Amino acid sequence: MKHSFTIVTDTSANLPAPLLNEHGIIVVPLTYHFEGEERCCLDTERFQGEEGEYFYKKLCEGERVSTSQVTPQKYVEAFEPLLQNGEDILFIGMSSGISGSYHASEVAAEQLRESYPERKLLTFDTLAASLGEGKAVIHAAEYRQSGMSIEETYQKLLEDRDELYQVVILDDLMFLHRGGRVSAPKALLGKLLGIRPILKGDESGHLVVCDKAKGRSRGIGVLVSKFTELVDRAKEQLVCIAYTDCPQDALSLRDTLSAVFNKAKFLIQRYEPVTGSYVGPGTIALFFEGKKGVRAY
């Protein structure tokens, strides 16, 4: 099916391959170094099973993972064939508050606009990652399907962005520390005290500590409380849950929320390896729409 414009995202969006294929969404892969070689995870379906289990098991055992930002040239290589084919592009990327990859997409887009002035090439910063980013991609596909233009879709995504709430429970902060996201003393103190840090995505797209819990079950309870307090139109939206190596906890969270909001729809996915390597084993994240300005809560 020929679409009015093409949606491009990156693998941080964490969406299942069948959904991406259904909507003709192009994916630019993020890369990571693991067990001595560079890899990418374009097929997130495989990572839902044994491949993902092995990856997080090795992280628990101390295997180090390093990641690299997508370069402007990689985006040029993804965008240019589409432009040559006469397609307009809406790129939906990972938060600029988490990674420099989004800035690289802007550099590539600016370069290509000069070469293809007759085409439209828009880049959208979700200020999110994982299924928070994925929700924006799904919305964009829905808006395009409803007949919205690329400019109308972009504007609607801007409005949606202020309503997205992202809340994450970690086992500890050590993996974020390794990725340069928090200081060593803060990471070590939480681990020693058995404190589960709870983070949210703020107005600038950064992950910031918003709460803490003594013990894992209490931490998951905080996610439930945040949802109950802040969600808007729970029965009309797709609620997303991402996890690393704890699928049963993710299912339990879904079941708890379903018992209260019995018509809510859910998408549950294992964290892909790049963003997963930053949050670490034991992580569960919840993504939903609340009232406008909910990021500030």
137, 196: one domain: no
Q: What is the pLDDT of residues 238-276, one digit of tens each?
A: 999 999 999 999 999 999 999 988 878 999 999 999 999
**Which among 161, 180, 207 is the end of a domain?**
161
Rounded CA-CA distance 52/45 in Å is 10
Calpha distance 97→108 (Å, rounded)? 19
Domain count, the chain: 2
178 lies in the same domain as 288: yes
| Domain termination residue (choose one: 161, 181, 215) | 161
The burial class, CB within 10 Å (0-12 / 13-18 / 19+), for 116 is middle
Please report, for residues 14, 62, 223, 246, the alpha-carbon distance to residue 131 in angstroms, rounded to integers and kept in the order given: 6, 26, 16, 16
Domain containing 153 — which CATH number? Answer: 3.40.50.10440
Dihedrals phi, psi of 269, to nearest 5 degrees: -140, 145
| CATH number of the domain within which 207 lies | 3.30.1180.10
Domain for residue 230, yes or no? yes
Quick one: 198 and 280 in the same domain? yes
Q: Is residue 44 part of a domain?
A: no
> What pLDDT, on the 0 to 100 scale, is given for residue 184?
40
- DSSP structure string for 195-240: EEEEEEE-TTS-EEEEEEEESHHHHHHHHHHHHHHHBSSGGGSEEE
- Domain-embedded: residue 197: yes
At residue 139, the 3 state secondary structure works out as helix
Same domain? 152 vs 261: no
The answer to whether residues 133 and 175 belong to one domain is no
Q: Are residues 142 and 195 in the same domain?
A: no
Coil, helix or strand at residue 283: coil
Instruction: Give the closest residue to 169 by CA, choosing from 210, 227, 202, 230.
Output: 210
Report strand pairing: 66-68 vs 37-40.
unpaired
* Same domain as 169, residue 154: no
Q: Give me the torsion for CA of 162, 167, 172, 176, rounded to 10°.
A: -30
59: in domain = no
Q: Classify residue 51: in a domain, yes or no.
A: no
Pair (152, 280) in one structural domain: no
Residues 12, 75 within the same domain: yes
Query: Is 214 found in the same domain as 151?
Result: no
Taking the CB of residue 84, how many other CB atoms lie within 10 A of it?
11
Give residue 232's pLDDT.
92
Largest CA distance in the chain: 59
Q: Are residues 267 and 125 in the same domain?
A: no
Name the nearest CA neighbour of 194 among 170, 175, 210, 215: 215
Q: Which of 132, 125, 55, 120 is nearest to 89 (CA)?
A: 120
- Give the domain extent around 210: 164-296
| Residues 22 and 135 reside in one and the same domain | yes
Q: Split the chain (297 residues) into runs of 10 and give each run's mean pLDDT.
A: 90 94 95 92 81 94 90 97 97 95 97 97 98 98 97 97 95 66 44 75 92 87 95 91 96 94 90 93 96 92
Domain end (from 161, 176, 196): 161
Distance CA 74, CA 120 (A): 19
Spatial separation of the C-alpha atoms in residues 246 and 181, rounded to whole Å = 23
Smallest CA-to-CA distance from 91 within 125, 59, 118, 68 is with: 125
Domain-embedded: residue 43 = no
Residue 59, pLDDT score: 94
Which residue from 120, 95, 112 is spatially nearest to 9, judged by alpha carbons? 95
Task: In whole angstroms, give the CA distance from residue 147 to residue 4.
Answer: 8
Give the DSSP H/E element, type plus range, for residue 138: helix 130-145
pLDDT at residue 183, as a whole number: 41
Identify the pLDDT of residue 191: 54
Residue 119 identity (one-letter amino acid): R
